[in-house]
Every structure is written in C-alpha cells, then in structure tokens.
Amino acid sequence: MSNKLPTDAELVLPAPAKLNLFLHITGRRADGYHNLQTIFQFLDYADELFFNTRNDGIIKLHTHFIDVPHDSNLITRAANLLKAQTKTPLGADIWINKKLPMGGGIGGGSSNAATTLLALNRLWNTRCDFSKLASLGLQLGADVPVFIQGKAAFAEGIGEQLTFIKPPEQWYLVAIPEINVNTANVFKDPNLTRNTSSINQQDVLLIDGHNDCQAVVLNNYPVVKHAFTLMSEQYPTRMTGTGACLFSAFTTQEQALKAQNQLATQLSCFVAQSTNHSLLHRTLGINSGF
C-alpha cells in the first residue's frame, strides 16, 4: 500500500476497530446467511482517513492496497453508493493510513466504509440520517450499520438488528496472527456449530458467551491455533468475529502492556481500550448519550 498522506485535508477521521465480545450462531437462513447474536464493542485503535471534496464528481482513492482493486475497495464502494443515492454532482479525493489488519475480524473494511459514508455525507451536505446511512452500509457488509451508529450494541439477525448496550470498558491485548481469514469459508465449514440457543436481551450482559467460529478457525489455520495456544496459556483468550485476531481483557492499561511485553517476541499484538461510544463519533462531536 503506497501511503503519501495529505497535510491539508478538509476532513480527517478515524475508522476504529471493533471486537465481537461473543459470537453465537443461532441458525442458517434460506439465503445461506447465518443468524447470529453478538456484542460489538469499539476499540480506540483506528485507521485514519483523509477527505477532500472535488467539484468534478470524480471519486479517487489515492492509497493503493496491494490485495484489493480500487473498484472493490469498501471505501470507493461506499463513496459511489452515497453519490448514486443522493445524486450529488460532487466527488472526493480520499487517502487512508491503514493500521488495522485486513481479514482480522476487527472490522477494518466495514469501519472504513462507515467512516466514508459519514464523512462524505458531511462534506457533500447530502443530509442522510443515520438510519439511511446504516441501510446503505448494510449493502456493503453486515457490520457497517454498527459503525455508522457508533454505539456498542447487542446485534441479532445478520448483525444489523441493534440494541445499544454498555458492556464494561476494559483494556485489551489483541494478537494479530499473520493470516487473512476468509469469512465466507468459515461460514461454509461443515463443522461450524450453527445451533447455539438464542439468549434473551436482558441476559446479554450477564453471560460470558463464546465464539462459534473459533473452533473452525483454530482447526483450519495452524497459525491461529499457535497464537491461541501461546496467549491462552497465560490469559483467558477469545477470537473476534471470524478471526484471525485474538483478544484478552485486562482491568488496567499497565496489565495489558505487561502482557504485550511478555508475548511481544512471539506474537504481533497491540493494546487498546474498548469504548461504548465510537472514536469516530467522538471526533465528529456526535453526542450519542453514551
């Protein structure tokens, strides 16, 4: 990814990561998608996107991703979708400082799409409300709506039915196994547990839960299994989303940094605080009441 970033962009915004604190798969729909129950909480660890308005209507992503052609990049797709929906004559120049690992289950692509929708809606003055942007975002990925809403949530359906909640804000050590896990392949795996019992909304913050995708990913990706073994020998460890990233919770930053130091020679990892009010919305000055 080439990364010459502008120093004078009109709008600079974060696209934060998320964790799935648990991920239960409760069934498979007729269209092949899976119903799930999960908690999304944000991390104060983010990509950074830079936006300038263009008057000629062109949407240009300047940062090159090695593995993702521009047309299929979720940033370009989000910008094109908002432009088509609102028929604005305006365009945009966009750059990204990419920090979030791709295919890691921390939602970087979805978060990039959500940040792009909120940024351009503001720069283009296209006045779509959150629920309109969330439904546009859902066309790009199941996790985009929660990033648009910017509040930690219990999610059902394919992740789009959101009930806002406030799980404890903690410090996390997040390990990044060097592999990109393909979400579709995890959901296709015959060994995936698809019949976890549904939980009631009022119990969401009372249970510890688990991640149904974890066993499949540990079984199919030795790199993830190795990282999980190293980490779980020391701390309770869980996978986020469909992997590959793994996380352990700590009460203080010091504890999380100490754990990072212990594992640093063997695993690539970062420490971040979880938050119920997204860094994106805090930066935009949107007061969610959270």
Ligand X SMILES: Nc1ncnc2c1ncn2[C@@H]1O[C@H](COP(=O)(O)OP(=O)(O)O)[C@@H](O)[C@H]1O
Residues that bind ligand SUD (CB under 6 A): 20, 23, 32-34, 36, 38, 105, 107, 110, 141-143, 158-159, 183-184, 187, 241-242
Q: How many chain residues are in contact with ligand X, going by CB under 6 A? A: 19
4 is catalytic: no
18 is catalytic: yes
**41 versus 112: smaller Cβ distance to ligand X:** 112
**199 versus 215: smaller Cβ distance to ligand X:** 215
- Please state the closest distance from residue 137 (CB atom) to ligand X, in A: 13
104 is in an annotated binding site: yes
In order, the DSSP letters of the chain are: ------SS-SEEEEEEEEEEEEEEEEEE-TTS-EEEEEEEEEEEEEEEEEEEEESS--EEE-SPPSSS-GGG-HHHHHHHHHHHHHT-S-EEEEEEE--SPTTSSS-HHHHHHHHHHHHHHHHTT----HHHHHHHHHTT-TTHHHHHHTB-EEEETTTTEEEE--PPP-EEEEE--S----HHHHHH-TT----PPP--GGGTTT----BHHHHHHHHH-HHHHHHHHHHHTTS--EE-TTSS-EEEEESSHHHHHHHHHHHTTT--EEEEEEESB-HHHHHTT-----
The reply to whether 73 sits near ligand X by the rule CB under 6 A is: yes
108 is in an annotated binding site: yes
231 is in an annotated binding site: no
Known binding residues for ATP:
101-111
Which residues are annotated as catalytic? 18, 143
Rule CB under 6 A: which residues touch ligand X?
67-68, 73-75, 102-110, 112, 180, 183, 241-242
